[in-house]
Amino acid sequence: MKVTSVLLIGGKSSRMGQDKAMLQVTGEPLLERQLRVLKEAGANEILLSIGQQCPGRPTLDPSIRVVTDRLQDIGPLGGIDAAFSLMSGTHLLVLAVDLPQMNSPLLQLLIHRSTVFQGVVPRVAHQLEPLVAVYPAAARTVLGEQLDREQFSVAEFARHCHSVGLVQFWDVPKSLDRGFLNWNQPGDWSGLKEPAARP
């Protein structure tokens, strides 16, 4: 297995009222934190998906490749689609930027639970987490079929991958579910404690 990762930062942050990627987590911009976590998780290649925005985002490492959506107005699936078209790995590790308590051991656990032919989509309290997941390269075909049918739900994409055996669902233990808490609106980060629970 060779893992390409993609960090999704192309959302409009409309509920937050400011760019979530630039919010601070213990003095570190969330964008930089998530890139660091992906590096620590051992991804062979890191892509930074910025949606349809101008690629003017700062990165700490010039090897990180900035990618833009090929298709407009389809949400995070646009970033996943763009990453599939450019990835060099056998598997794609997807991470949304707005998860300030995600950590590299938890991402490594997802990678280790994957197999040559199958990725992993976590479930937290019976809810899929398709934006913190590992998809094999073959899932690109499933995504293409979904986009052709104009079904733009990322959860539906994960379910379809599961139905054809390309991913397994993993029920996250209660002790690890804090890593999946996300920031959607002002105040969500109050009381944040670092580091998150680790596997």
Q: How buried is residue 26: exposed, middle or buried, by Cβ count under 10 Å (0-12/13-18/19+)?
A: exposed
CA separation for the pair 124, 27 (Å, rounded): 28
* Local structure of residue 88 (DSSP, 8 states): -
CA separation for the pair 136, 174 (Å, rounded): 26
The domains of the chain are located at 3-180
The whole model's pTM is what? 0.84
What tens digit of pLDDT does each residue of 3-26 get? 999 999 864 443 434 456 666 667
* Residue 31 and residue 97 in contact, taking contact as beta carbons nearer than 8 Å: yes
* Residue 24 and residue 33 in contact, taking contact as beta carbons nearer than 8 Å: no
Q: So what's the architecture of 3-180 in CATH? A: Alpha-Beta Complex (3.90)
What tens digit of pLDDT does each residue of 78-102 get? 999 999 999 999 999 999 988 888 9
CA separation for the pair 108, 39 (Å, rounded): 11
